[in-house]
Amino acid sequence: MTDSVDKAAVEKALAGFKDPETGRDAVQMGQVRDVRVDGAHVSLTLELTTHSAPLWNDVRDALVDHLRSRLPSVESVEVKLAEHKRPPGKLGEIGLTAKSVIAVGSGKGGVGKSTIAAAVALGLKRAGAKIGLLDADVYGPSIPHLLGISGRPSTSENKLLPIMLDGMPVMSMGFLVPKGEAVVWRGPMLHGAITQFLRDTLWGELDYLLIDMPPGTGDIALTLSQLLPLTGAVVTCTPQDVALLDAEKAIAMFRRVNIPVLGMVENMSGFVCPDCHKRHDIFGSGGARQRAEELNVPFLGEVPINMHIRERGDAGQTDAVFDDPTVGPYLSRIVYRLVKNLSDSASQRPPTPSLPVLG
């Protein structure tokens, strides 16, 4: 005969299970409800924020393991997932309403930085997170082309209305400058444009704002570090040594302006022949992973050279790359690891005490 489980014991065992976004106790945060016990069977509802959307299934499995390890007499645990509403606060003096702001940079051009920035934004959106994408590459804005969107932002109450892609707000200099016309600006004008894009755009409430940075080590990173607290940066590079040298400079730049480096992505990492299925390391392979280890930077993953990435990007259909069985899993893993690393960092931080609000 199987021993029944006491509801009080279940509620006690739930204590200490952490919310993946904040790292705080999910029970204390009011994210566990509808706890029911039927003999040795337990059911409950776990509420999670969309900020951690790529991790929802993993978190559910972890909660099942959490309960069963503490209560061996439990035979089964049913966890229903639901959304937990936790709107973002305002960041910095510009008042951006976003929980995480992530810059995607590179030490040089031509390594696929904008493609990776667009893919990470789209991957987070597909998972269910609320995403905005800012194309800060003022001299070479390619995000509108990669996403297949165009138009000129209108204004409302002295605010810019971003161009929307299936609910994802996007802002780029490419929407404001006629096609083929060059932007010839000095540093102060760049600073003003980035400030306006961040402060005067109606972004709405975001889980993540992804920023596609200009290549190299210019002053945009310094501007961003002064405007708002960035969660961190992702550095894109290719495997060969000459590209890794420039990526190392980009990492040094971000660290110099106190922007944490969240990880490296190795793009154009090998080519798999579609006919013979043999892998060819045209630019080498594994260089970014090795350099990441040397620099104590997380390695988020690699993306192979693939014709579909180029074709979809040229056609403005970057989102469709996730449906490609060859490269889609690589991109999905990068998105997952990025959010998982953020969650692990939150879990390792000591919880911030919650103070009562006095009326």
Distance of CA 55 to the CA centre of its chain: 12
**66, exposed or middle or buried, with CB in 10 Å at 0-12, 13-18, 19+?**
middle
Number of domains in the chain: 2
Cβ atoms of residues 115 and 318 within 8 Å: yes
What is the pLDDT, as a whole number, of residue 6?
85
Confidence of residue 236 (pLDDT cuts 50, 70, 90): very high
Q: Which of 49, 83, 117 is the last residue before a domain boundary?
A: 83
Buried b (16+ CB within 10 A) or exposed e, 4-15: ebeeeebeebbe
Within-domain flag for 123: yes
CA 185 – CA 173 distance, rounded (Å): 12
Within-domain flag for 354: no
If asked whether residues 245 and 105 sit together in one domain, one would say yes
Task: Work out the angle between the directed axes of helices 287-294 and 241-256 (0-180°, nearest 10).
Answer: 40
Encode pLDDT of 69-119 as tens digits.
Answer: 999 999 999 999 999 999 999 998 888 999 999 999 887 778 889 999 999
If asked whether residues 146 and 261 sit together in one domain, one would say yes
What is the pLDDT, as a whole number, of residue 337?
97
If asked whether residues 95 and 221 sit together in one domain, one would say yes
Task: Look up the CATH number of the domain holding residue 29.
Answer: 3.30.300.130
**219, exposed or middle or buried, with CB in 10 Å at 0-12, 13-18, 19+?**
middle
Encode pLDDT of 111-150 as tens digits.
Answer: 889 999 999 999 999 999 999 999 988 777 899 999 999 9
Encode pLDDT of 12-67 as tens digits.
Answer: 999 999 999 999 999 999 999 999 999 889 999 999 999 999 999 999 999 999 99
Q: Which residues contact 311 (CB under 8 A, 6 or more apart)?
A: none
Encode pLDDT of 167-210 as tens digits.
Answer: 999 999 888 876 766 665 666 677 788 888 899 999 999 999 99
Q: Which residues contact 197 (CB under 8 A, 6 or more apart)?
A: 134, 136, 160, 171
Confidence of residue 354 (pLDDT cuts 50, 70, 90): very low
Domain residues for 226? 90-348
Structure tokens, 281: 């390391």
If asked whether residues 65 and 133 sit together in one domain, one would say no
Share of the chain above pLDDT 90, in %: 58
What is the pLDDT, as a whole number, of residue 328?
94
If asked whether residues 139 and 30 sit together in one domain, one would say no
Structure tokens, 61: 């499995």
